[in-house]
Structure 1
Amino acid sequence: MLIVLLQSLQFLLVIMVAYLFKKIRIFKATDGIVLQKIILNLTLPATIVVGFNAVTVEPILFIMISLGLVSNLGLVLIGGYVWRKKDAPNQSLMMFSQAGYNIGNFTIPFVQGFFPAAIPYIGSFDMGNALMIFGGTPMVVDKMTQQRRSNNHLFRTFLNLFRSPSFTTYIIMFSLALVGIVLPENVLSIFRLFSSGNAFLAMFMVGLYLDIRIDANALKKVLVLLFTRYALGIGLALVFYFFLPLPDIVRMSLVLLALAPIGTVATINIIAYESERSLASFLASASIMVSLVLMTLALVFIL
């Protein structure tokens, strides 16, 4: 338990240091774009390689992919129902704020230091998560709100997924595992070198993007959105942990995933569907801080 608390405090320290450096103008918020490119194209794929190497492909990995799809679909539908009487932009805001998990830039770095053995399960879940946030969720939002903002269809959505280095890495490592190919240690050591910086860079990027400026009316809306998301998330985490007949490490992974913050792509979609950029930025920042607390508490109670 002490290790978990210390690790979480270290993450919080990195976030606060990055935020402080931004406030005193050593860094700018736009510097986070550079870090994001490094993470998405280098350190995160390396972490996935290390985590997936020598994994045995079992039916449980396909179950995790399915859970990533189904949980996203269920939450976006619930979000649409909760604000069904609102106008289209507000209903879209609720739907995007409920579905989509920040796994690559937050959840994987969070578990990387605690349970590297959980990365294949979390990564498999992220494959289903990616299918929804990159195309499935906007299509559902368009259908429920009677808009036509998303031009994606299933085939185009699938092709767009391969623009994501992390998703491509998932597929490559999954394919290698299927045929029983294991990377030798001298090759893996190179990937470990790059993956070792992933958690720090991800938390530092979070700090640079952290935004706590918002007006009172928007704050009330954000509080409702976050309360709905985490009430549903905690309920989902309880179902995952107490009712699914899966190994302990898988159920623990699912609990952390259910409490993960709003995905970056979901935040982009919130802005694209006519919500204010300041609201979306504050919502994403607040979600990260709430998730850090809840995921830490979950580990404290589970371990």
Structure 2
Amino acid sequence: MLAILIQAIRFIAVILAAYFFKRTGFLKQADGDTVSRIIVYFTLPATIIIGMSGTELNRTVLLFMTIGLLANLMLSLVGGFLWHKKGAIDQSMMVFTISGYNIGNFALPFIQGFFPAAIPLLGSFDIGNALMLSGGTSLMVDQMDKEQQEKIVFTDMLRRLFASPPFTTYILMFGLALFHYTLPSPVMSVVEIFASGNAFLSMFMIGLYLELNVNRFQLKKAFRLLGIRYGSAAILSVLLYLVLPLSPIEKGVLVLVLFSPFASLHAINAILYKNEPSFVGFISSLSIICSLILMTGIFALLF
């Protein structure tokens, strides 16, 4: 328990340090874009390579990939149904809030700190998750609102997916696993240098993006949206924990993933669908705080 709290405190310390530097003017929120690019193009792909090197494609890996896709699909449908009587903008906000998981910049560095062997499972889940984040959920939102101006086709989704270095790295590592090929030690030693900075940079980026300014109406709306998100995560977690034929550790990793924060791509999509940027930034920040608390508690309980 002490080790779990120490790890959580370390993450909180990095987030608060970045937020402090932003508030004092030493750094700007725009600097988060630079840090984000470093993560996406260097440290996160390196972390994926390190974690998935030597992975065997088994039933569990494929199951996590399927759950990543189906969980997003099901929750998108639930979100659309719950707010189907509201306007198109509010309905899109519900769908984007209730579904989608921030794996690369939060769940992976968080769980990696406690359980590095979980990275292949996280990567498998994130492949299914990425299919929805990169176009699948937007396509569903468009189908819910016939007046949406743009339709996303399958080729657009593929183009977006393979434009993402982390997703391309996942596919590459799964391809190597399919042929039982492991990267040589000299290559891995170089990759490890890049991977070592991923957790710090991910938390630092979150701190730079952290926004806590909101009015009372928006606060009430945010709590309602996140209440539905985490309530759905709790129901889904209990069902999957009781039903799936997985080991206790694998079930625990799956539960942790389901409580990860609002996805960054969904925050971008919510703004594209005309939701207020300041509100989207706030709910994204609040989701990170909630997930950090909940995932720490879940880890202490299950592990």
Shorter-chain TM range is: over 0.9
Residues 288-299 of structure 1 mapped to structure 2, 5 A cutoff:
288-299=288-299
Rounded Cα–Cα distance in structure 2 between residues aligned with 1:139 and 1:299: 34
Corresponding residue for 2:178? 178
Corresponding residue for 1:105? 105
Q: Which runs of 4+ in 1 moved over 4 A?
A: none
**Structure 1 residue ranges without an equivalent (≥5):** none
Aligned length: 303
Rounded Cα–Cα distance in structure 2 between residues aligned with 1:216 and 1:189: 51
Corresponding residue for 2:223? 223
Deviation at 1:260, TM superposition (A): 0.5
Give yes or no for contact 2:142–2:151 (8 Å, CA) kept in 1. no
Give the 3-state SS of the residue equivalent to 2:114 in structure 1.
coil
Give yes or no for contact 2:256–2:298 (8 Å, CA) kept in 1. yes
Q: Which moved more, 1:61-70 or 1:40-49?
A: 61-70
Q: Do structure 1's residue 235 and structure 2's residue 226 form an aligned pair?
A: no
Query: What is the CA RMSD across the aligned residues, in angstroms?
Result: 1.0
Corresponding residue for 1:89? 89
**1:220 counterpart letter in structure 2:** K
Corresponding residue for 2:209? 209
Corresponding residue for 2:36? 36
Rounded Cα–Cα distance in structure 2 between residues aligned with 1:264 and 1:110: 16
Q: Do structure 1's residue 254 and structure 2's residue 250 form an aligned pair?
A: no
Give yes or no for contact 1:138–1:150 (8 Å, CA) kept in 2. no
Deviation at 1:32, TM superposition (A): 0.4
Give the 3-state SS of the residue equivalent to 1:113 in structure 2.
helix
**2:32 counterpart letter in structure 1:** G
**2:50 counterpart letter in structure 1:** V
Give the 3-state SS of the residue equivalent to 1:100 in structure 2.
coil
**1:140 counterpart letter in structure 2:** M
Rounded Cα–Cα distance in structure 2 between residues aligned with 1:40 and 1:253: 23
Rounded Cα–Cα distance in structure 2 between residues aligned with 1:149 and 1:126: 28
Rounded Cα–Cα distance in structure 2 between residues aligned with 1:35 and 1:154: 30
**Structure 2 residue ranges without an equivalent (≥5):** none
Give yes or no for contact 1:261–1:287 (8 Å, CA) kept in 2. yes
Give yes or no for contact 2:18–2:205 (8 Å, CA) kept in 1. yes
- TM-score, normalized by length of structure 2? 0.98
Residues 1-303 of structure 1 mapped to structure 2, 5 A cutoff:
1-303=1-303
Deviation string for 1:50-79 (max 9, x for gaps)? 000011111221111111110000001100
Deviation at 1:241, TM superposition (A): 2.1
Deviation string for 1:201-237 (max 9, x for gaps)? 0000000000001111111111110110011111112
Deviation at 1:147, TM superposition (A): 3.3
Q: Give percent identity, aligned residues only.
A: 45
Deviation at 1:92, TM superposition (A): 0.9
**2:259 counterpart letter in structure 1:** L
Give the 3-state SS of the residue equivalent to 1:183 in structure 2.
coil
Rounded Cα–Cα distance in structure 1 between residues aligned with 2:299 and 2:281: 27
Give the 3-state SS of the residue equivalent to 1:56 in structure 2.
coil
Rounded Cα–Cα distance in structure 1 between residues aligned with 2:283 and 2:160: 26
Deviation at 1:243, TM superposition (A): 2.2
